[in-house]
């Protein structure tokens, strides 16, 4: 019954029905079927109201609307546009300078918005026409934009990491309680942020290195800007130093203020997110981009995204209660624990499942459907919770980038000009998928890349 339940859920989602309503409707339908057949205990339904109350009063989850507001305000206030123009001035003489500018701006936008779709669409609208006009190979331009757009999964402060951190923390406590530890250790969202910093920077450096290497080995794929355009960019406008300061200082200061306050223990994620929201308002004001219309549009988008997140949380809570009522968690535990190869095999199977689910589900659904079920099992097998959280985030990022179903590819396709073929996008992302897989392997071989910084800060 739990296997049939999960298959029906996935099949209904693939038909295109709304995720939150599908999770709730199918779950309640199967609960009713189970009650009529005597296979389900109604107590699992009676527990749902308490779980929903816990979700709605969770202080950490209040960071979600604040981070969404911060990212949307930065998007509407043309910070990305100014960043790209100023970075184009800075890297104008460097091989592949425009591509390097896109990687750097994508990293800063990822840290500012934390929303993959928003970053890919924004960068696609701003950068893709410019790169094509400069003579960049379409596949390289499309691949660079898709890859940098997905950095919002792993570069903190990220909404993905906020939600994942909350679920991993609960799973860690649950695994200890299941093992008879009634004074469990805890981890925080800040610990997951700290663990994601080094892997995130490694990805950014590997992306930049690939673009630079391509520009050096195949200059025709990433030609430098013509001398007259470089002169036009710099003439009378601003010095190189001023361009660097104007381009980098405001968003970097904002991200450092938000992330630093969390990592140093000065503020909780929710408090830091409120600082970020106010900082985004201040930046929009200094750029004279703040108006009632802008504030209205940002507020509506924040309401839309936050409502979607919380509605999915409600659906996921109903799903997990019904799934446990059918004994699905026990079944999965038996399968994972009895796999030949022990912990390695269990991790591999879970990561493969999450990777495949990333083709049909967004990170929110996967975070709240799958991780609460498999997380306690893996953590009880001795897996480090921070390392597991970062591995899941990088794995999902890889899934969102992998042809032919990666979400990032569809986001870029929706804003790409007609001359960019779908095959160009697929071909362009392959090297970046290889870099992602290499990072996953590196993190598996050297877990200290994730666990060292949280240990130092802790």
Residue recorded with tokens 């899934």: 399
Taking a C-beta distance cutoff of 8 angstroms, is the pair 114, 158 a contact?
yes
Separation of alpha carbons 319 and 331, rounded Å = 16
Taking a C-beta distance cutoff of 8 angstroms, is the pair 103, 204 a contact?
yes
Task: Classify residue 395 by burial, with Cβ atoms within 10 Å: 0-12, 13-18, 19+.
Answer: buried
Please state, as a whole number, how many other Cβ atoms lie within 10 Å of the Cβ of residue 282. 14
Sequence-separated (6 or more) residues with CB below 8 Å from residue 143? 425, 427, 428, 429, 430, 431, 432
The token pair that represents 206 in the structure block: 């590997």
State which H helix or E strand residue 171 sits in. helix 159-178
Q: Sign (positive/negative) of CA torsion 109, 110, 112, 117?
A: positive
Among residues 123, 29, 59, 12, which one has the least CA distance to residue 412?
123
pLDDT tens, residue by residue, 417-435: 888 888 888 999 999 999 9
**Which pLDDT belongs to residue 205?**
94
Phi-psi region of 189 (alpha: psi -120 to 50; beta: other; left: phi over 0): alpha
Which residues in the chain land under pLDDT 70?
A: 80, 112-118, 225-244, 246-247, 458
**Which pLDDT belongs to residue 54?**
85
Residue recorded with tokens 């507020």: 299
**Which pLDDT belongs to residue 115?**
64
C-alpha separations of 50 from 41, 55, 328 in Å: 17, 9, 21
Phi then psi for residue 76, to 5 deg, are -75, -20
C-alpha separations of 336 from 100, 134, 197, 343 in Å: 43, 52, 30, 8
pLDDT tens, residue by residue, 257-276: 888 888 888 888 888 888 88
**Which pLDDT belongs to residue 114?**
62
**Which pLDDT belongs to residue 384?**
92
Q: Where are the alpha helices (DSSP H) in 40-93?
A: 43-46, 48-56, 63-76, 79-90
Separation of alpha carbons 93 and 84, rounded Å = 15
Taking a C-beta distance cutoff of 8 angstroms, is the pair 110, 158 a contact?
yes
Phi-psi region of 138 (alpha: psi -120 to 50; beta: other; left: phi over 0): alpha
**Which pLDDT belongs to residue 108?**
78
3 state SS of 151: helix
Task: Classify residue 241 by burial, with Cβ atoms within 10 Å: 0-12, 13-18, 19+.
Answer: exposed
Taking a C-beta distance cutoff of 8 angstroms, is the pair 380, 372 a contact?
no
């Amino acid at each position: 019954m739990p296997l049939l339940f999960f298959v029906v859920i996935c099949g209904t989602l693939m038909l295109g029905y709304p995720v939150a309503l599908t999770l709730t409707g199918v779950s309640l339908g199967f609960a009713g079927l189970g009650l009529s057949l005597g296979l389900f205990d109604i107590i699992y339904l009676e527990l749902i109201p308490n779980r929903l109350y816990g979700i709605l009063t969770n202080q950490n989850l209040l960071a979600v609307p604040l981070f969404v507001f911060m990212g949307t305000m930065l998007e509407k206030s043309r910070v990305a546009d100014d960043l790209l123009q100023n970075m184009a001035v800075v890297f104008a003489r460097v091989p592949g300078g425009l591509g390097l500018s896109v990687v750097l701006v994508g990293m800063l936008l990822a840290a500012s918005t934390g929303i993959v779709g928003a970053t890919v669409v924004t960068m696609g609208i701003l950068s893709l026409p410019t790169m094509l006009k400069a003579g960049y190979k379409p596949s390289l331009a499309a691949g660079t934009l898709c890859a940098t757009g997905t950095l919002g999964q792993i570069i903190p402060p990220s909404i993905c990491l906020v939600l994942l951190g909350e679920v991993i923390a609960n799973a860690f406590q649950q695994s200890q309680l299941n093992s008879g530890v009634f004074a469990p250790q805890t981890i925080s969202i800040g610990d997951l942020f700290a663990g994601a910093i080094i892997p995130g920077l490694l990805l950014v450096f590997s992306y930049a290195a690939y673009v630079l290497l391509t520009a050096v080995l195949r200059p025709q794929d990433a030609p430098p800007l013509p001398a007259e355009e470089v002169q036009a960019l710099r003439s009378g406008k601003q010095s190189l130093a001023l361009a660097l300061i104007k381009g980098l200082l405001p968003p970097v200061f904002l991200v450092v203020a938000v992330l630093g306050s969390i990592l140093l223990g000065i503020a909780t994620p929710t408090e830091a997110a409120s600082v970020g929201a106010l900082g985004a308002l201040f930046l929009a004001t200094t750029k004279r981009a703040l108006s009632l219309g802008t504030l209205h549009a940002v507020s509506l988008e924040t309401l839309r995204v936050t409502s979607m997140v919380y509605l999915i949380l409600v659906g996921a809570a109903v799903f997990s209660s019904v799934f446990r009522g059918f004994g699905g968690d026990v079944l999965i535990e038996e399968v994972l624990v009895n796999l030949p190869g022990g912990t390695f095999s269990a991790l591999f199977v879970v990561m493969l499942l999450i990777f495949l689910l990333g083709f049909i589900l967004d990170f929110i659904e996967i975070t709240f459907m799958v991780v609460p079920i498999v997380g306690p099992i893996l953590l009880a097998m001795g897996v480090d919770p921070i390392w597991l959280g970062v591995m899941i985030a990088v794995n999902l990022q890889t899934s969102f980038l992998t042809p032919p179903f990666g979400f990032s590819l569809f986001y870029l396709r929706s804003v790409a000009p007609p001359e960019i073929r779908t095959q160009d996008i697929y071909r362009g992302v392959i090297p970046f998928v290889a870099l992602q897989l290499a990072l996953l392997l590196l993190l598996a071989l050297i877990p200290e890349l994730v666990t060292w910084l949280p240990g130092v800060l802790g």
